[in-house]
Amino acid sequence: MDTKQPNLRTVRVTRYLTPLREGGSLPAIAEADDDFLYVLKFRGAGQGPKALIAELIGGELARLLGLKIPEIVFADLDEAFGRTEPDEEIQDLLRASTGVNLAVHYLSGAITFDPLVTIVHPKLASQIVWLDSFLTNVDRTARNTNMLMWHKELWLIDHGAALYFHHSWDNWQEQAIKPFVQIKDHVLLKYASELEQVNADFRAILNGDIIKSVTSLIPQEWLLSDSPFLAVDAHRNAYSEFLETRLTASEIFIKGAQDARESLI
């Protein structure tokens, strides 16, 4: 498993190709100055930088735990980029997203994971269920799996709906130690029979330093937007504290997932 200090590259967006009319961040396929294609997620979309923060934290923690995640990069959008865009809605989005955005490497040829076609091994299913319980990710359901099959492997995408507490920050310390009730709708829950072993494995990998190494990646300008905290450091530290507390109390959300699975099967 890759437990190296995470380090995201920065690319410059050179061409807007096509919108993807889905998701809270109104993503699009775009080309960057490294000649690769990316799914570009905009800070100026409806959910603002919060969706990008959740995407960054969720994706990089998943990678550190050994799960398949397309490369995440910071994507710089020039102020003049949207001036030639004929669609007014897209032009407004581009103007509102000047500066640092987030992009995920486009997996050309990937197909959407279909739970009726592909059976997931219990260990991998348990790892993904553990991750989504930890991150309070509400968006990995049969209706919207947010998983792709690429080169015969399962890849996780789109963690923008994780950490949903940060849309209000109400009682966030209490939220950190609560079961994740929405896990009952997880598309892989019925296969997740190895949660206790995965809990032990992942707790041996994650710790406060690793969590802080991920939250340290959050751009300061994202933390300044719609912040309930007086200082950027306090805002960043709150993400770390939430995750560290939740890790310490992992038995609580694991028990919740196991109870939900028993009801399901």
**Range in 21-30, 64-73, 136-145 the model is least confident about:** 21-30
Query: Per-residue pLDDT averaged across 135-141, rounded?
Result: 97
Per-residue pLDDT at 25: 61
Backbone phi and psi for residue 154, each to the nearest 5 degrees, phi listed first: -90, 125
pLDDT of residue 4: 61
Average the pLDDT over 242-256 and give the result: 98
Rounded mean pLDDT, 78-102: 85
DSSP codes, 84-95: G---HHHHHHHH
pLDDT for 185-194, tens place per residue? 999 999 999 9
In DSSP notation, 63-83 reads: HHTT---PPEEEEEE-TTGGG
Whether the predicted pLDDT of 182 surpasses 90: yes
Q: What is the residue extent of each domain of the chain? A: 10-105, 111-264
Give the residue-averaged pLDDT of 74-100.
Answer: 86
Taking only the tens place, the pLDDT of each residue in 206-237 is 999 999 999 999 999 999 988 889 899 999 99
| Whole-number pLDDT of residue 227 | 86
The upper half-sphere exposure of residue 26, i.e. CA atoms within 13 Å in the direction of its Cβ, equals: 17
Using the 8-state DSSP alphabet, how is residue 179 labeled? -
Percent of all residues in the chain with a pLDDT value above 90, rounded to a whole number: 82
User: Could you tell me if 162 and 136 are in contact, meaning their C-beta atoms sit under 8 angstroms apart?
Assistant: yes
Instruction: Characterise 48 by phi-psi region: left (phi > 0), alpha (psi -120 to 50), beta (else).
Output: left
Closest CA to 216 of 244, 242, 237, 231: 237
In the chain, DSSP assigns E strands to 10-19, 28-32, 37-41, 72-77, 99-105, 111-112, 147-150, 153-156
At which residue do the structure tokens 């751009």 appear? 219
Residue 248: partners with Cβ closer than 8 Å, 6 or more residues away: none
- The model's pLDDT over 98-116, given as tens digits with 9 standing for 90+, comes to 999 999 999 999 999 999 9
The closest alpha carbon to 190, from 257, 103, 248, 98, belongs to 257
- Per the listing, tokens 């994202």 go with 222
What is the rounded CA–CA span in Å between residue 252 and residue 247? 10
What pTM does this model have? 0.95
